Structure 1
């Protein structure tokens, strides 16, 4: 029988029956979502070793699940239990609850606060998913449709059903979903600069830090920019990513000499000093809106308001004029 809340399971064997919404996905993908906080290697080891059973027998990782299949799901370590039991701070619960921009039976759109990661792990006890699981314990499946960096605020989609997740992933893959971001950048953005077409490649520094740079050997990356407002030494721009590469907006803007304010990875010293002068203590990058056709067939345009800090920073920018 399925457990009531499809989070990382407690440390005992769980028997789960596949329903119509779960059918059609591969066994490994199903388990990787179930054990979101467990290393992939451990999940595959459990499949190969027969710890996972489908209809009482061994199954290949690529087996396509059928409605009615009974799966034996083993306990795979303390980490999942620790993540599930993490006590979420009340201010994050309140902030995320206030930040619900849209919700139906299929998915949610949240105005994610800056400073909250999308999920726990890598030293973090919890993230947005864990917060939502405490706010919506009746929701058996909650899956990130896409990601935002920890310091980025704004619109993020959370699927409640596998069918909704597939629908929304298809929109992203086919570029039928429009994301618009607002960013405060250093300098005077040229009005004629509308499209940045520059490939991006990930690099690891000697310190172990990972960064992204424009590089001809990298992946294709395109971002459309438009000027929203100008301030002394600063420009508020709208960025519409055509592709979805890591740090794409931040690196494309910095590549043109207009790094984002509050960017501790790609901003130069002059930009950091300017950020301090307007009281900015976070990355000024906000996922401002989403346009899409929901799994229900409804056309949606959802916008996320700025938080108090960003509003206050812009007020200080106006006062500099």
Structure 2
């Protein structure tokens, strides 16, 4: 379904309320101007079309209560309508909630489910959760997972929680650990991949990432969990949060992830498919963060789905000696 836009609105002025205290202006604008490309948000900031208290501000400016923001006319995509909470695929997500309280939620996202609608999808994870929790008016994704990746994903139910969790991401105090099955024997001494990543968007709209000296600094830690005859189960901990980071860093190390439709190895993938692996073997299995209200450490674990578990069981008879 092609994205529709509403006509440009006139210049508008918004006064910052307590719920937005200390939020960066770029993040605020992206939340307010849903459907507007990130590049346009930064362009209107750079050109001074956005003003705070009649002054130009940089993207990292942190909002204060009472600030008056001038937002120029932009074309905003129409919001996707929320799905019915009665839909089977929406109801099924209830069983994937790993942790929930008044201010946040952690989901075990199924593989194949996009985190949000768009690009031909009527709805994704966040729209489904808003339908399930209609009282949580401020519900937002804290971070993202690729559509093909399963596992722990964090959702804030209040803006104050979103700010706290975003700060943990920026300060690299949130710990995300993934399990990935990769081709070949991972070398014990390869514990850190530090390779800059450059994102390209093809004419088709598909995003492809590659290691490039002109890319953004990117680091991922790797640890061997189990060795098999032709592959290795590794734990990957991203230090930075770039698009497709673990997938491209694994490929850069010479060990593409099993059944990766973008960066995989066809021959290896075919051998894994004979074991019943029909999806990318990348799973966010553990998430550790400080609770926004109590400050206490929270660790949540997401079990592997049946496809990944069965693949490992079959590989168990082919251990590396």
Q: Which TM-score applies when normalising by structure 2?
A: 0.80
Q: 1:282 aligns with which of 248, 268, 279?
A: 279
> 1:112 aligned to 2:109?
yes
- Partners of 1:125 and 1:59 lie apart in 2 by 39
**Equivalent residue number for residue 306 of structure 1:** 304
SS of aligned partner of 1:110: strand
- Partners of 2:302 and 2:202 lie apart in 1 by 35
Query: Which string of whole-angstrom CA distances, capped at 9 and with x for unpartnered residues, describes residues 188-229 of structure 1?
Result: 112222111211112345655331111222221111111111
Query: Which string of whole-angstrom CA distances, capped at 9 and with x for unpartnered residues, describes residues 6-32 of structure 1?
Result: xxxxxxxxxx99753235557875464
Contact 2:82/2:123 (8 A) holds in 1:
no
**Structure 2: where are the runs of 5+ without partners?**
1-13, 45-52
> 1:127 aligned to 2:129?
no
Q: Which TM-score applies when normalising by structure 1?
A: 0.80
- Partners of 2:210 and 2:76 lie apart in 1 by 37
SS of aligned partner of 1:305: coil
SS of aligned partner of 2:151: strand
Matched ranges for 1:187-266 at <5 A:
187-205=184-202, 209-266=206-263
How far off is 1:85 after superposition? 4.2
- Partners of 2:21 and 2:167 lie apart in 1 by 17
- Partners of 2:291 and 2:209 lie apart in 1 by 32
- Over aligned residues, Cα RMSD in angstroms? 3.8
Contact 2:83/2:131 (8 A) holds in 1:
no
Change (3 A) 1:78 1:235: closer
Q: How many residues align?
A: 303
**Equivalent residue number for residue 314 of structure 2:** 316
Query: Which string of whole-angstrom CA distances, capped at 9 and with x for unpartnered residues, describes residues 38-67 of structure 1?
Result: 66769x99xxxxxxxxxxxx9889795746
- Partners of 2:100 and 2:312 lie apart in 1 by 30
Contact 1:23/1:67 (8 A) holds in 2:
no
Change (3 A) 1:312 1:23: same
**Equivalent residue number for residue 289 of structure 2:** 292
**Equivalent residue number for residue 98 of structure 1:** 95
Q: 1:143 aligns with which of 118, 140, 143?
A: 140
How far off is 1:263 after superposition? 0.2
- Worse-superposed segment, 149-158 or 190-199: 190-199
- Partners of 1:311 and 1:93 lie apart in 2 by 24
Matched ranges for 1:163-174 at <5 A:
163-174=160-171
- Partners of 1:67 and 1:114 lie apart in 2 by 43
